[in-house]
Structure 1
Amino acid sequence: MPIAITIHILAAVIWVGGMFFAYMVLRPAALDLGPPQRLSLWSRAFARFFPWVWVAVVLLLLSGYWMILFAFDGFVNVGLYIHIMNATGILMVLIFLHVFFAPYRRLNRALASADFEAAGQALNQIRILIAINLVLGLITIVVGTAGAYYT
């Protein structure tokens, strides 16, 4: 259990912390750039961040379900906070999958053809979805860490 929970927490920190950095630090700093530079910066930043998100997603799912199945002996034996954490985590994964396979691909295709208007629209959709995922991630962290004390 100590290894699984450590992996779980580190993966969550990498994913949610990366979204926090992107939304609260990089986004305001990039506003000073013109559209071609700003859109290119985001594409390159996502190209470096998203592989880490894939690793985090796999590790979160494996470690989380390992703990549920082997440390708690199944979903029947876990508290409500684990069920909430599971639901919000799955929703976050689904949102990430959509971001990765839809607007992120549109962003890169638009940049490849120098269509900065379409790239901007794709980036705006990514921005909204990352904001939603960031809020969900912070809620999930609060529920996962404090939930055991309220059951």
Structure 2
Amino acid sequence: MTFPHLMLFLHLVGVVVWVGGMAFAYLCLRPAATALPPAQRLPLWAAVFARFFPLVWTSVALIAASGVAMLVDTGFARAPVAWHVMLVTGFVMIAVFVWIWAGPWRALQAAVAGENWAGGAVALNLIRQRVAFNLALGFVTIAIATLGLGL
């Protein structure tokens, strides 16, 4: 196994966990959970995020470290334009996740702990909107990486 192969493997593992997890949460769990009353739905989401967000942090570290390593190994000037676009979209996705984690995720945790279902619903809705954005950006980034899209 060569260095570029290892870095690509780590990069893809991070992407699969993060983007795949968002796809599962948004497209499968979210529609199923809407049938639950807030007193059940919001603690469910809090428990899901408590398990998923540490995986996202690990994925962010893997993606960022392996992506930068591949860029440095290749050379920024010789790297395809798509790699530079992926760098930008990746940092936007990371910033959105950090905003979720630092803001509405903490608000959701506090709301669930205090059984403030209205406040929890507001926080969860903010998370939902940002996850939808990151999921779409994740798919765009994957398309850029694999299809080139003229870059």
Instruction: Tell me the CA shift for residue 96 of structure 1.
Output: 0.2
Question: Following the alignment from structure 1 to structure 2, what is the Cα–Cα distance between the partners of residues 110 and 16?
Answer: 26
Deviations 1:16-44 (A, max 9, x none): 00000000000000011000100000000
Partner of 2:41: 38
Identity %: 41
CA RMSD for the aligned pairs? 1.0
Which secondary structure does the structure 1 equivalent of 2:77 belong to? helix
Partner of 1:25: 28
Partner of 1:104: 105
Partner of 1:57: 60
Normalising by the residue count of structure 2, what TM-score does the alignment of the two structures yield? 0.95
Partner of 2:93: 92
Structure 1: tracts of 5 or more residues without a match = none
Letter in structure 2 aligned against 1:82:
W
Partner of 1:68: 71
Deviations 1:42-81 (A, max 9, x none): 00000010010000000000000000001x12x2211211
Partner of 1:14: 17
Count of paired positions: 148
Question: Following the alignment from structure 1 to structure 2, what is the Cα–Cα distance between the partners of residues 13 and 98?
Answer: 21
> Does residue 134 of structure 2 align to residue 127 of structure 1?
no
Which secondary structure does the structure 2 equivalent of 1:122 belong to? helix
Instruction: Tell me the CA shift for residue 83 of structure 1.
Output: 1.1
Deviations 1:85-109 (A, max 9, x none): 1111000000000000100000001
Question: Following the alignment from structure 1 to structure 2, what is the Cα–Cα distance between the partners of residues 36 and 68?
Answer: 47
Q: Runs of 4 or more off by more than 3 Å in structure 1?
A: none
